[in-house]
């Protein structure tokens, strides 16, 4: 069910040769640049980091209202007014807060900071927090990574005699808040040559404008800028790319005691820091502060010079990240039990799963996992008493924002964008929301979009070398709009399979012609790996370099794998047709005929699975096709055999598990034609 359509980038060989010749780079690097749309000399220099250390940064005053923000802040600094930096509880908001607070403190400002509590206050400015800041004597609030939608909240601050500067990077709504300045490169009238900054990028530009020099500011806080930019998954092109590329070495040699300790506890000391290590190692630990407690602790970790305090905070966040992982396992167990009792939820076009008391700081992560696992848009909701909140994630081609806007009458609040969204609603309306969003999907998408894997090129195995890996790494750092290159290799015959890491990973040796390669399939148990020596497969891999005892070697990491005879459209179409049947939708006779198996076909499937099966649904589908049974009929037959008590099935999206099941029938035979699914398709008992 997590089966993905491979989209292999088109190649313009003449353009790639031209780029390679002009810049003296490898043809593979040139192909990556051209296929990703980086074709002009300026874009290519930017991607390759040419003149990074000498080129000028974009003038911060190119962002609308930057002049107003600087004027008001200088007045507040000179007058020793009480300033509050108002941030957010994710890594972008945390680093934005730490950056601006540290700078203002360094120039003698009377400054404090405030991070709202995820559960008690939610995202962005809120009137309760403004009231508390007012009681503390704050006269100027500067938002970072939020505020563009805080029309009512800024009005409330104004009524109290306070003033607000908004710095944000989210898209504006119908109205702007009536703030002293609204510094946001995405404003409709913006003429800024680059707009895709993270919140920390906008805060950086504000400090550059105050200081009058970008390079000195970057030297002091480039580590924070790189952390927040990568963690917020904004485009790693343009000035963002330069900020991250220059900021990564600053993280490696950071003088921040808290960040040093956090990296040491994460096992990163002495290792190169990459965008990948930020995204998967550092950022989750910083995020843990806001997911399981108060995010202001992460700000203190980044700004404090007290090593005793930072050591304690780093250990706290490390421990809480482990706790977060344990909570995810509990939610995973709960979801599994729910789906076992009510598997119809999985047949919906949009999966909506709700649980009582689930940690709201974790459900967004789990929504991403469910979306990836089942290849569908998904919402995970947590409810307590009368109120529920949820996080949604989607696949390319299905806009969550459009979907929740269309059923907003079932919600008390919502926000987000195409691939991620947050909602709030009454607990009693959860079922209404589930129906409404699925009705929207049915109306707008007769065929739901398929999950995709973007592949940069198809190569013969003989070209997978360390030189190719080096050529790809010229485009580091990787991230949004410049992902880690993925290469497809077709028609590889499996020679040997070795369970590594105690059977938790698979080391696969493959051959085509004279070329032999070895690739790693991580996080796959021996018993869940459905391939055998002799199978001919297509693989999609990334290229990693490993160094052991000074010796470099190439590691191919499998991102996806399928039998070479696989036809995606047949499998995806068969799955969608089967799910229509399970939802009880009206089907035409032609559709029913694709689903309707004969008793002989069911018998073939039973004999091939009676001893059990573990692996991808698509692999089983290909093996069944060799026996003359189509994919849609396979799914129907498995359902009939399960309903008839002959098989027991579980499917977690990645692995289909089939086991024989004891049955009890008076005459020793099962009347499969009487099962609900057989009745619905007109099962042929012949």
CATH of region 342-450: 3.10.310.30
First to last CA, the chain: 30
- Residue range 170-193, pLDDT digits in tens: 888 889 999 999 999 999 999 999
pLDDT at 395 over 50: yes
Average pLDDT over residues 354-366: 90
- When the pLDDT of each residue in the chain is averaged and rounded to a whole number, the result is 92
Q: How far is it, in rounded angstroms, from Cα 543 to Cα 25?
A: 18
Reported as a pLDDT band with limits 50, 70 and 90, residue 663 is low
pLDDT at 54 over 80: no
pLDDT of residue 1: 56
Contact 114, 84 (CB under 8 A): yes
Q: How far is it, in rounded angstroms, from Cα 556 to Cα 636?
A: 37
Which tokens in the block code for residue 417? Answer: 């964008």
Contact 256, 138 (CB under 8 A): no
- Burial environment of residue 102 by CB neighbours within 10 A (0 to 12, 13 to 18, 19 or more): buried
pLDDT of residue 423: 92
pLDDT of residue 653: 82
Contact 646, 611 (CB under 8 A): no
Average pLDDT over residues 424-432: 95
Q: Within 10 Å of residue 467's Cβ, how many Cβ atoms? A: 12
- Residue range 83-101, pLDDT digits in tens: 999 999 999 999 999 999 9
pLDDT at 666 over 50: no
pLDDT of residue 520: 96
pLDDT at 77 over 90: yes
CATH of region 568-681: 1.10.10
Q: Within 10 Å of residue 88's Cβ, how many Cβ atoms? A: 24
Average pLDDT over residues 209-233: 95
Q: How far is it, in rounded angstroms, from Cα 118 to Cα 287?
A: 11
- Burial environment of residue 290 by CB neighbours within 10 A (0 to 12, 13 to 18, 19 or more): buried
Helix (H) or strand (E) holding 6: strand 5-8
Contact 113, 94 (CB under 8 A): no
Q: Within 10 Å of residue 628's Cβ, how many Cβ atoms? A: 10
pLDDT at 682 over 80: yes
Q: Which of 580, 632, 578, 567 is nearest to 601 (CA)?
A: 632
3-state secondary structure of 671: coil
Measure Cα distances from 450 to 2, 201, 226, 445, 620 in Å. Answer: 10, 34, 33, 11, 20
Q: How far is it, in rounded angstroms, from Cα 268 to Cα 281?
A: 9
Q: Within 10 Å of residue 602's Cβ, how many Cβ atoms? A: 26
Average pLDDT over residues 624-634: 92
pLDDT of residue 79: 96
The number of C-alpha atoms within 13 Å of 110 and in the hemisphere containing its C-beta is 12
Name the percent of the chain lying above pLDDT 90: 81
3-state secondary structure of 583: coil
3-state secondary structure of 93: helix
Contact 94, 122 (CB under 8 A): no
- Residue range 483-515, pLDDT digits in tens: 999 999 999 999 999 999 988 999 999 999 999
pLDDT of residue 665: 46
Sheet holding 110-114, edge to edge: 110-114, 82-86, 140-144, 163-167, 181-183
3-state secondary structure of 141: strand
- Burial environment of residue 338 by CB neighbours within 10 A (0 to 12, 13 to 18, 19 or more): middle
The number of C-alpha atoms within 13 Å of 327 and in the hemisphere containing its C-beta is 19
pLDDT of residue 686: 60
Reported as a pLDDT band with limits 50, 70 and 90, residue 669 is low
Measure Cα distances from 325 to 381, 616, 651 in Å. Answer: 18, 25, 22
The strand pairing partners of 536, in sequence order, are: 493
Q: How far is it, in rounded angstroms, from Cα 245 to Cα 222?
A: 10
Q: Which fold has domain 5-10+453-563?
A: OB fold (Dihydrolipoamide Acetyltransferase, E2P) (2.40.50)
- Residue range 291-339, pLDDT digits in tens: 888 899 999 999 999 999 999 999 999 999 999 999 888 988 898 888 8
Contact 6, 560 (CB under 8 A): yes
Q: Within 10 Å of residue 14's Cβ, how many Cβ atoms? A: 9
3-state secondary structure of 537: strand
3-state secondary structure of 564: coil
Which tokens in the block code for residue 252? Answer: 């490696």
pLDDT of residue 478: 93
Q: Within 10 Å of residue 214's Cβ, how many Cβ atoms? A: 20
- Residue range 527-581, pLDDT digits in tens: 999 999 999 999 999 999 887 777 888 999 999 999 999 999 999 999 999 999 9
pLDDT at 7 over 90: yes
- Residue range 142-170, pLDDT digits in tens: 999 999 989 999 999 999 999 999 999 98
Domains of the chain, residue spans: 5-10+453-563, 60-316, 342-450, 568-681
CATH of region 60-316: 3.90.1640.30
Measure Cα distances from 605 to 279, 567, 638, 659, 680 in Å. Answer: 43, 20, 8, 13, 19
Q: Which of 327, 349, 451, 471 is nearest to 407 (CA)?
A: 349
Contact 351, 377 (CB under 8 A): yes
pLDDT of residue 73: 98
Q: How far is it, in rounded angstroms, from Cα 273 to Cα 405?
A: 40
């Amino acid at each position: 069910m997590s089966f993905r359509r491979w989209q292999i980038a088109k190649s313009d060989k003449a353009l790639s040769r031209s780029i390679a010749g002009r810049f003296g780079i490898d043809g593979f690097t040139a192909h990556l640049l051209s296929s990703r749309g980086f074709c002009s000399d300026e874009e290519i220099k930017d991607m390759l980091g040419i003149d990074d250390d000498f080129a000028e940064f974009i003038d911060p005053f190119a962002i609308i209202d930057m002049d107003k923000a600087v004027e008001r802040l200088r007045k507040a600094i000179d007058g020793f007014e009480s300033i509050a930096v108002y941030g957010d509880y994710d890594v972008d908001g945390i680093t934005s807060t730490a950056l601006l607070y540290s700078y203002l403190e360094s120039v003698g400002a009377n400054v404090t900071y405030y991070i709202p509590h995820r559960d008690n206050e939610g995202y962005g400015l809120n009137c309760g927090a403004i009231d508390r800041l007012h009681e503390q004597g704050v006269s100027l609030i500067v938002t970072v990574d939020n505020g563009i939608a805080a029309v009512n909240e800024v009005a409330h601050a104004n009524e109290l005699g306070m003033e607000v500067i908004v710095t944000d990077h989210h898209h504006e709504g119908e109205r702007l808040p009536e703030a002293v300045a609204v510094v946001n490169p995405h404003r409709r009238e913006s003429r800024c040559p680059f707009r895709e900054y993270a919140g920390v990028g906008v805060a950086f530009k504000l400090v550059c404008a105050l200081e009058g020099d970008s390079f000195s500011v970057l030297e002091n806080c480039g580590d924070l800028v790189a952390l927040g930019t990568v963690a917020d998954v904004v485009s790693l092109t343009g000035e963002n790319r330069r900020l991250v590329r220059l900021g990564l070495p600053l993280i490696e040699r950071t003088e921040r005691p808290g960040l040093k300790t956090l990296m040491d506890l994460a096992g990163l000391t002495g290792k190169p820091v990459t965008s990948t290590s930020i995204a998967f190692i550092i950022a989750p630990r910083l995020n843990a502060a806001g997911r399981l407690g108060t995010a202001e602790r992460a700000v203190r970790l980044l700004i404090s010079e007290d090593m005793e305090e930072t050591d304690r905070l780093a250990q706290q966040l490390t421990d809480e990240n482990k706790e977060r992982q344990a909570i995810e396992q509990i939610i995973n167990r709960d979801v599994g039990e729910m789906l076992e009792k009510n598997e119809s939820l999985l047949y919906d076009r949009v999966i909506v799963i709700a649980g009582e008391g689930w940690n709201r700081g974790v459900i967004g992560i789990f929504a991403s996992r469910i979306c990836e696992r089942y290849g569908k848009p998904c919402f995970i909701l947590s409810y307590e008493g009368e109120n529920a909140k949820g996080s949604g994630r989607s696949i390319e081609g299905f806009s969550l924002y459009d979907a929740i806007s269309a059923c907003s009458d079932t919600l008390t609040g919502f926000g987000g964008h195409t691939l991620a969204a947050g909602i709030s609603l009454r607990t009693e309306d959860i079922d209404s929301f589930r129906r409404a969003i699925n009705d929207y999907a049915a109306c707008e998408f007769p065929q739901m979009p398929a999950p995709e894997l973007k592949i940069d090129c198809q190569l013969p195995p003989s070209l997978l070398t360390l030189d190719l890996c080096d050529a790809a790494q010229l485009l580091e750092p990787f991230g949004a709009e410049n992902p880690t290159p993925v290469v497809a290799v077709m028609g590889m015959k499996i020679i040997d399979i070795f369970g590594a890491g105690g059977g938790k990973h698979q080391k696969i040796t493959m051959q085509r012609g004279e070329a032999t390669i070895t690739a790693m399939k991580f996080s796959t148990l021996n018993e869940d790996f459905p391939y055998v020596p002799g199978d001919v497969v297509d693989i999609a891999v990334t290229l990693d370099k490993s160094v052991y005892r000074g010796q470099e070697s190439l590691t191919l990491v499998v991102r996806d794998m399928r039998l070479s005879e696989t036809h995606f459209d047949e499998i995806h179409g068969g799955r969608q047709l089967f799910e229509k049947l399970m939802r009880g939708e009206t089907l035409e006779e032609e559709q029913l005929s694709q689903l309707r198996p004969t008793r002989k076909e069911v018998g073939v499937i039973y004999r091939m699975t009676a001893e059990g099966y573990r692996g991808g649904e698509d692999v089983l589908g290909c093996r069944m096709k060799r026996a003359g049974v189509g994919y849609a009929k396979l799914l129907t037959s498995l359902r009939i055999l399960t309903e008839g008590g002959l098989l027991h099935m579980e499917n977690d999206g990645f692995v289909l598990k089939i086991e024989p099941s004891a049955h009890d029938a008076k005459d020793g035979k099962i009347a499969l034609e009487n099962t609900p699914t057989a009745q619905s398709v007109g099962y042929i008992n012949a």
